Amino acid sequence: MFDLGWTELLVIGIVALIVVGPKDLPVLFRNVGRFVGKAKGMAREFSSAMHDAAEESGVRDVAKGLKTATNPVASAMDGVKDAARDLTDSVNPTKLDSTKYAPDSETGKLSAERAEKTKKIQAATARAAADRLKREAEEAQTKADQAEAALTSEAESNT
């Protein structure tokens, strides 16, 4: 905070000893300690209040948007991590259980909505994976057919 070294603290202690006197010095240090403790407590409370206000106002979403704009590769990796987390959550049904909240509450509505979106995302991901595997199999079959045709034509030209 003030970035005081040992030499500065020693000078302050000597000056305090001379000005206040040895009899009242422990009382002074105790009062200074209490003041510093109260100041740290107020700073901690202020910091947590600002953090809560930032959470409510959506600063984290804005920061995430800025991160995405400035570093698209990292944001893509975050998306992959989120997708992997969603897949692991789907294996553990207790994490997606929307029935543990009151259905009329905002949390219950959001939980049900998120569970529905998660199912849609998982279905779309499964379809995309199946399409990709089918396309790769077709490409592999096409290459194998081309290689076989090339070998056949080479064998015919050699004879």
Digit-coded pLDDT (tens) for 86-130:
766 655 544 545 456 677 777 878 888 888 899 999 999 999 999
Of residues 54 and 41, the one with the higher pLDDT is 41
Evaluate whether residue 61 is within a structural domain. Answer: no
Evaluate whether residue 14 is within a structural domain. Answer: yes
Evaluate whether residue 66 is within a structural domain. Answer: no
> Comparing C-alpha atoms, which of 60, 65, 87 is closest to residue 75?
65
Mean pLDDT of the chain: 81
Evaluate whether residue 68 is within a structural domain. Answer: no
The whole-angstrom separation of Cα 28 and Cα 19 is 11
Q: Are residues 134 and 90 part of one domain?
A: yes
Q: Are residues 34 and 100 part of one domain?
A: no
Evaluate whether residue 76 is within a structural domain. Answer: no
Q: Are residues 138 and 95 part of one domain?
A: yes
Evaluate whether residue 67 is within a structural domain. Answer: no
Of residues 133 and 65, the one with the higher pLDDT is 133
In degrees, to the nearest 5, what angle opens at C-alpha 49 toward C-alphas 45 and 50? 120
Per-residue pLDDT band at 65 (split at 50, 70, 90)? confident
Q: Are residues 110 and 46 part of one domain?
A: no
Domain membership of residue 21 as a residue range = 6-56
| Number of domains the chain contains | 2
Q: Are residues 85 and 52 part of one domain?
A: no
Evaluate whether residue 114 is within a structural domain. Answer: yes
Q: What tokens were used for 92?
A: 């553990």
Average pLDDT over residues 27-44: 91
Q: What pLDDT score does 21 carry?
A: 86
